[in-house]
Amino acid sequence: MLDRIAVGEIPRKHHIQLRAPDGTLRYEHCITRDGFDGPYTIAYHAGRPHLGRPVDASHGFARPVAAGPRPLLRRHYRTGDLHRGGAPIDARQAILFNADVVLSVLHPDREDPVYLANADGDDLVFCLEGGGQLRSTFGDLRFTKSDYVCVPRGTVHRFIPDAGVKQHWLVIECRGGMGIPKQWRNPVGQLRMDAPFSHRDFRRPDFVGPVDEGIREVIVKRGDAFTGYAHETSPLDVVGWDGTVYPWVFPILNFQPRAGLVHLPPTWHGTFAARGALVCSFVPRLVDFHPEAIPCPYPHSSVEVDEFLFYCDGNFTSRKGVGPGSASHHPAGIAHGPHPGSYEGSIGATRTDELAVMLDCFLPLEATAPALDTEDAAYHDSFR
Ligand SMILES: [Fe+2]
């Protein structure tokens, strides 16, 4: 949830009449979080937004299913190997999940032919490769390589990936909501001067008014089941809206990293907070400057936390045998640390060019069968 913006036609007060030039009444649509206590947006539709007739959903992706009990090991999945094209609404493949987050990968090769509203959580998409347009009732939002895209729960939207370009996206579905960590806001909700980003670093939707693409189906995901709703008119019939709930883009390279005299823990790279999870951004930066500093992360046991790391670009100080699209899962219960030689080899380094998205979460992550198909079986022993 970002700062309030207002676009298009809106009346001068909440809950009063808004009329088209011919006198027709517009329909107010309040989109509220935390019941009615949290952030909200009020949109105005040309028609009533609640007229969809239930139909069998024509699209959707598989619900996450655990592959079964497995020994507690450090794991590495090569998500580039999860080949399945299709529209984004069909292409998502879950690899790891718990009750708070579902981590999925997709390689879409065409645009969504229908709209989706995910009522199960906020989707945080990270575009490793490719780019495109997110079209929603709030307007169009362009994204490209190395962008995070936030699609708030319930947003009626579709993705239009750029044609002829390789696409590789990670999606973190945050079932208890996600947003900016509290410590980065001042008492009025503005991002603090010492936050690692400012309001200027985010891109907001470009609102052009009502859109009719001829699409009438909205597919709603709730409880990992998909239900279609057929509308008589375009669901993107919004004439204006204002509020703080809307999709946005944050380019990961807009994150302002910190370096310390000695190594700073990952929490300093905290970018987005979700229920039971923290998303961190590791971006190119100078490293620790104590004359005896060891810049490489120390072996550690963060004893309540499963760590997921999605590698994007650059050389990783601590790990070997991983590359863009690699996803590692280091579970709580066993210590993890650098690969042989990395710890010693980092002494004297002045910078790192690594780019990665990390997720620390409190509930154990379970792997799905598609993840197992891409697993690097030698990974656990590669630390010996
Ligand atoms: Fe770690």
Cα distance between residue 175 and residue 36, in whole Å:
18
User: What is the reported pTM?
Assistant: 0.97
Q: Which of 42, 38, 129, 152 is nearest to 325 (CA)?
A: 129
The DSSP bridge pattern shows strands 285-286 and 147-151 to be unpaired
Q: Do residues 145 and 168 touch, judged by C-beta distance below 8 A?
A: no
CA distances from 40 to 70, 173, 242, 298 (A): 42, 20, 9, 42
Cα distance between residue 340 and residue 323, in whole Å:
17
Cα distance between residue 249 and residue 172, in whole Å:
14
Instruction: Give distance in angstroms: CA of 249 to centre of ligand 1.
Output: 26
Instruction: Give distance in angstroms: CA of 254 to centre of ligand 1.
Output: 23
Q: Is the pLDDT of residue 317 over 70?
A: no
Instruction: Give distance in angstroms: CA of 298 to centre of ligand 1.
Output: 9
pLDDT digits (tens, 9 = 90+) for 290-308: 999 999 989 999 899 999 9
Instruction: Give distance in angstroms: CA of 144 to centre of ligand 1.
Output: 28
pLDDT digits (tens, 9 = 90+) for 35-91: 999 999 999 999 999 999 999 999 999 999 999 899 999 999 999 999 889 999 999
Instruction: Give distance in angstroms: CA of 307 to centre of ligand 1.
Output: 6
Secondary element (H or E) of residue 143: strand 139-144
Instruction: Give distance in angstroms: CA of 141 to centre of ligand 1.
Output: 33
Instruction: Give distance in angstroms: CA of 101 to centre of ligand 1.
Output: 18
Instruction: Give distance in angstroms: CA of 60 to centre of ligand 1.
Output: 34
Instruction: Give distance in angstroms: CA of 66 to centre of ligand 1.
Output: 23
Q: For the chain, how far is it from start to end, CA to CA, in angstroms?
A: 44
Structure token digits, residue 84: 């399945």
Q: Do residues 251 and 333 touch, judged by C-beta distance below 8 A?
A: no
Residue 344 CB burial class (10 angstroms; 0-12, 13-18, ≥19): exposed
Structure token digits, residue 10: 């809106």
Instruction: Give distance in angstroms: CA of 201 to centre of ligand 1.
Output: 27
Q: Which of 292, 316, 310 is nearest to 360 (CA)?
A: 310
Instruction: Give distance in angstroms: CA of 300 to centre of ligand 1.
Output: 7
The DSSP bridge pattern shows strands 270-274 and 178-179 to be antiparallel
Alpha-carbon torsion (169, 383, 340, 295), positive or negative: positive
Instruction: Give distance in angstroms: CA of 296 to centre of ligand 1.
Output: 11
Task: Name 114's Cβ contacts closer than 8 Å, sequence gap at least 6.
Answer: 58, 59, 89, 158, 215, 217, 218, 219, 228
Instruction: Give distance in angstroms: CA of 356 to centre of ligand 1.
Output: 12
Instruction: Give distance in angstroms: CA of 336 to centre of ligand 1.
Output: 6
Q: DSSP letters along 203-250, please?
A: B--B--S----S--EEEEEETTEEEEEE-SS-S--EEEEEES---EEE
What is the mean predicted confidence (pLDDT) over 343-372? 95
Under DSSP, the state recorded for 378 is T
Provide, rounded to the nearest whole percent, the portion of the chain with pLDDT above 70: 99
**Confidence (pLDDT) at 262:** 96
271 in the Ramachandran plot: left (φ > 0), alpha (ψ -120 to 50) or beta? alpha
Instruction: Give distance in angstroms: CA of 335 to centre of ligand 1.
Output: 9
**Confidence (pLDDT) at 14:** 97
Instruction: Give distance in angstroms: CA of 78 to centre of ligand 1.
Output: 19
Instruction: Give distance in angstroms: CA of 86 to centre of ligand 1.
Output: 34
Q: Which amino acid is at 189?
A: G
Instruction: Give distance in angstroms: CA of 316 to centre of ligand 1.
Output: 13
Q: Which of 247, 250, 319 is nearest to 279 (CA)?
A: 250
Cα distance between residue 368 and residue 42, in whole Å:
38
Alpha-carbon torsion (349, 354, 360, 366), positive or negative: negative
Instruction: Give distance in angstroms: CA of 329 to centre of ligand 1.
Output: 9
Cα distance between residue 258 and residue 256, in whole Å:
7
pLDDT digits (tens, 9 = 90+) for 127-180: 999 999 999 999 999 999 999 999 999 999 999 999 999 999 999 999 999 999
Instruction: Give distance in angstroms: CA of 330 to centre of ligand 1.
Output: 7
**Cα angle at 181 between 175 and 186, to 5 degrees?**
140
Instruction: Give distance in angstroms: CA of 126 to centre of ligand 1.
Output: 20
What is the mean predicted confidence (pLDDT) over 348-367? 96
